[in-house]
Amino acid sequence: MAKFNISKELITTIAEQENIKYVNSISKKTNQLLSNALKKLSAQISYLTMDNVILQPVNELMTGAFVDNSSFIYFLGIKNAQLEINTGRKVPFWQTLKEKFKLAWRNRKNYKRKRKKKKKKNEELEENKKYEFDPTKYTIYNLTEDLQNALLEYLSESSLVYRFGNQLQIIGKDDFGANTRIIIYIVNYDGNNIYKYYSGKKEGFKEINIKSRFDALENKISLVGENFVKMIKIFNSLYYNVNNCMPNQIFIESILCSCPNDLFYGKTIYNCFIKIVNYLNINSLKNVKSINNPDKTIYQDGICGENSAYGFNKVLNIIAE
């Protein structure tokens, strides 16, 4: 378990961090980058138009509680019913196997390394390079791969774009600066602030209600002021230093939204911090409602993260020591 000195000076320094210019600069570059890449893809993919795509910040970018180790995390929502159906459709095992055999046969010459080299016809080369778009089979995963390739055309050679399922991570010192990480989840969007993240055949789609979350945050900030955002910054930073990763924001925000309003009032932010920590230490978190789905607790709502409670309790234990 990490050991470090949690002092009044440290808490005050974290709370007063100011990253607005940096955040605005990277956000503007990210918007422009995606706009260029999506315009290019829309000429090839019928599912894409600039009218049915929305870029939504989803982590501490929503509250302005950005700290030194925060990443720029977004949902790229695609409003298209057919794309959602294709992504969620369960393909029979034998059909999947058949497609793999077809792909292997089509590329058989590439797999046989010992085969004598032969000149390939130009027509065959062009056919292999030809882009194929089948609207009945195209999924979120296909779109993620195509977007990855499109983004690379607008980034410097030193930048990297990693793909993990329906997630893209962009790292580019020359394009964005050192230690800047941009993470984009390609998801389905229903047009009513509901984003549907596809987490695989077993779990299917997970719904993230941005409006419910935004309303809860806006209401709390209107009642207690900027100390609410400062408190998110503090817990984000402490969580990172204890667990070596940033916390799930819906989990952290849900907990702080559940704290009584008077705890956020005090002569200093450190006084507020101590009062909130004492409150959390003597009250169970099991009944805290998720701001993503008020019908569920933070333990029931999978969007809040499976290991969030464990990591948060480690933070409270460090403070208690």
- Residues 6 or more apart whose CB falls under 8 angstroms from that of 276 comprise 231, 256, 259, 263, 264
Angle at 143 between CA 140 and CA 147, to 5 degrees: 140
Domain extents for the chain? 8-13+211-320, 19-87+136-209
Residue 89, pLDDT score = 79
Question: Shortest CA distance to 58 belongs to which of 177, 264, 206, 277?
Answer: 206
The pTM of the full predicted model, rounded to 2 decimals, is 0.83
Q: Is 300:313 a contact under the CB 8 Å cutoff?
A: no
How distant is the alpha carbon of residue 292 from its chain centre? 15
Quickly tell me which residue has 């000195």 as its tokens: 5
On whether the CB atoms of residues 249 and 183 are closer than 8 A, the answer is no
Per-residue pLDDT of the chain (321 residues; tens, 9 = 90+): 556 678 899 999 999 988 899 999 999 999 999 999 999 999 989 888 889 999 999 999 999 999 989 999 999 999 999 999 999 876 554 555 555 566 566 665 554 544 444 444 444 444 444 456 788 889 999 999 999 999 999 999 999 999 999 999 999 999 999 889 999 999 999 888 899 999 887 778 989 999 999 999 999 999 999 999 999 999 999 999 999 999 999 999 999 999 999 999 988 999 999 999 999 999 999 999 999 999 999 999 989 988 899 999 999 998 887
Q: 266 near 275, Cβ under 8 Å?
A: yes
C-beta neighbour count of 272 within 10 angstroms? 24
Range 19-87+136-209: architecture per CATH: 2-Layer Sandwich (3.30)
> By the 8 A CB rule, do 288 and 298 touch?
yes
Burial 191-220 (b: 16+ CB within 10 A, else e): eebbbbbbeeeeeebeebbbebbeebbeeb
CB 34 within 8 A of CB 76: yes
**Shortest CA distance to 152 belongs to which of 136, 172, 138?**
172
The one-letter amino acid at 218: E
User: Which of 221, 212, 206 is closest to 193 using CA atoms?
Assistant: 212
